[in-house]
């Protein structure tokens, strides 16, 4: 389940190195505990300053679009690092998305705040210094849907998965997100330029739009595109043709189910089989150079061969849209979906569909985002999936298409960073 040049690099773990590093840290901590190192800052001598994030207008049950940023300073007004802070709210005033933090070298710490119901029009988040008396109250005004911006998605082929408000960059910054099957949604008021929209659906390809927000209430109408229709050419070069065809058909059905459930926005349009077997023929390949020799065609090309790298590899996928599968892939029902992921420029991950040994089924919105918006993805090189989309940011270094790992299907209104690969 590897892939070569022109595709996502292989993922490896180094448990021995990790264990050694953890042991070294424990030893260092033990030695430090026995020494007479410098004492930390006295919490009673610290005060808190607001850096940014006050005075925001938020939509009920959504995170504020900007984080609350504070700074800890001493009596001389100098910033203090390593100060432990806690964040809390009164009943009905929402929740901080993180209960505690430590100030960085600049003396600052931040928290995202998901406000409560608009029945409490003015809400307060309190920041405190642990072990001290310093505290800071930050207020936000909260409105209901009638005073919010609205997004309407037209052309949906079925239920949506969710919306996210994002700010382009490397990595992409997710400001707020909401899982929903609805095609119309109230979103927080966006009064600043540069805030863009991502929409994910089951039967539509993801949409990335840059609305022209105004200080007034806005209604943004989005035109969704149907799922990308994939064409596969399957070249059975070894084994009994009908048996190999049946295995691939099962894997195609498995991939289609994963894609719909995960909201990938692709669907099989045509799968063409070619009988290229001959009596007793065997095809043994080395993965070295396979991708370098691959060029995009008018369909994704799949080859069923005897073995790859002497049987050490069961599948190999390349960005150019070529896949090789070794005989016996019926033991891995999600293998075709995994290798197709490589043709979409997806990398190996620690879990989910792109796990390199026994692929699971999960994908993050970040992986779906990269698959559609990376210019080198087979979805774009072969099928022109997003010809008018904002592909520019995918060429940044580091690319937000690589780094974005946020899910929009977490708890309602929450901003949750998922592990690579998804659940």
Place of tokens 């023929």: 281
Cα–Cα nearest to 186, from 147, 232, 214: 147
- Which CATH number describes the domain made up of 44-145? 2.60.40.10
Predicted local confidence at residue 9, as pLDDT: 30
Determine the Cα–Cα distance for residues 26 and 120; give it in Å rounded to an integer.
47
| Per-residue model confidence (pLDDT) at position 100 | 96
Q: Tell me how far the alpha carbon of residue 103 is from its chain's centroid.
A: 27
**How much is the pLDDT for 135?**
97
- Res 170: pLDDT: 58
What Rg, from alpha-carbon coordinates, does the chain have?
26
Tens of pLDDT along 170-209? Answer: 566 788 888 888 899 999 999 877 898 888 888 999 888 8
Backbone conformation region of residue 61, classed left if phi is above 0, alpha if psi is from -120 to 50, else beta: left
44-145 and 146-226: same fold? yes
184 touches 151 (CB < 8 A): yes
The pLDDT assigned to 40 comes to 65
Weakly modelled stretches of the chain, pLDDT under 50: 3-37, 390-392, 395-398, 402-423
The verdict on domain 228-389 having CATH code 3.40.50.1860 is no
**Residue 231: strand, helix, or coil:** strand
Please tell us whether the domain made up of 146-226 is placed in CATH 2.60.40: yes
pLDDT of residue 128: 97
| pLDDT for 137 | 98
Token pair belonging to 279 = 């009596």
* Ranges of each domain in the chain: 44-145, 146-226, 228-389
> How far from chain centre, in Å, is Cα 398?
14
pLDDT at 281: 86
């Amino acid at each position: 389940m590897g892939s070569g040049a022109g595709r996502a690099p292989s993922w490896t773990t180094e448990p021995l190195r990790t264990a050694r590093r953890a042991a070294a840290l424990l030893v260092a901590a033990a030695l430090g505990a026995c020494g007479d190192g410098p004492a930390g800052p006295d919490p009673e001598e610290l005060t808190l300053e607001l850096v940014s994030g006050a005075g925001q207008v938020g939509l009920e049950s959504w995170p504020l679009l900007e984080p609350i940023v504070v700074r800890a300073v001493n009596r001389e007004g100098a910033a203090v690092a390593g100060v432990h802070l806690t964040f809390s709210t009164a009943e009905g005033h929402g929740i901080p998305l993180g209960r505690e933090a430590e100030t960085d070298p600049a003396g600052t710490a931040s928290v995202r705040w998901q406000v409560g119901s608009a029945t409490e029009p003015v809400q307060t988040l309190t920041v405190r210094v642990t072990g001290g008396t310093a505290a800071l109250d930050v207020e936000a005004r909260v409105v209901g849907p009638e005073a919010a911006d609205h997004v309407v998605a037209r052309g949906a082929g079925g239920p949506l998965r969710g919306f996210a408000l994002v700010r382009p960059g490397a990595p992409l910054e997710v400001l707020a997100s909401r899982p929903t099957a609805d095609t119309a949604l109230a979103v927080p008021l966006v009064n600043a330029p540069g805030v863009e929209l991502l929409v994910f659906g089951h039967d539509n390809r993801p949409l990335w739009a840059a609305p022209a927000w105004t200080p007034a209430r806005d209604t943004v109408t989005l035109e969704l595109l149907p799922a990308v229709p994939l064409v596969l050419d399957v070249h059975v070069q070894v084994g009994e043709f009908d048996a190999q065809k049946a295995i691939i058909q099962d894997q195609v059905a498995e991939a289609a189910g994963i894609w719909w459930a995960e909201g990938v926005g692709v669907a099989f349009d045509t799968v063409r089989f070619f009988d290229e077997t001959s009596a007793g023929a065997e095809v043994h390949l080395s993965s070295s150079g396979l991708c370098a020799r691959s060029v995009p065609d008018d369909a994704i090309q799949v080859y069923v061969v005897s073995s790859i790298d002497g049987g050490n590899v069961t599948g190999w996928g390349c960005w150019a849209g070529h896949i090789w599968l070794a005989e016996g892939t019926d033991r891995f029902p999600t293998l075709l979906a995994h290798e197709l992921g490589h043709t979409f420029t997806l990398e190996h991950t620690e879990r989910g569909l792109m796990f390199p040994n026994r692929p699971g089924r999960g994908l993050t919105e970040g992986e779906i985002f990269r698959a559609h918006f990376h210019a080198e993805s087979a979805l774009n090189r072969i099928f022109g999936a997003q010809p008018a989309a904002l592909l520019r940011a995918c060429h940044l270094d580091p690319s937000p298409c690589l780094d974005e790992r946020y899910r929009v299907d977490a708890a309602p209104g929450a901003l949750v960073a998922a592990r690579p690969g998804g659940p």
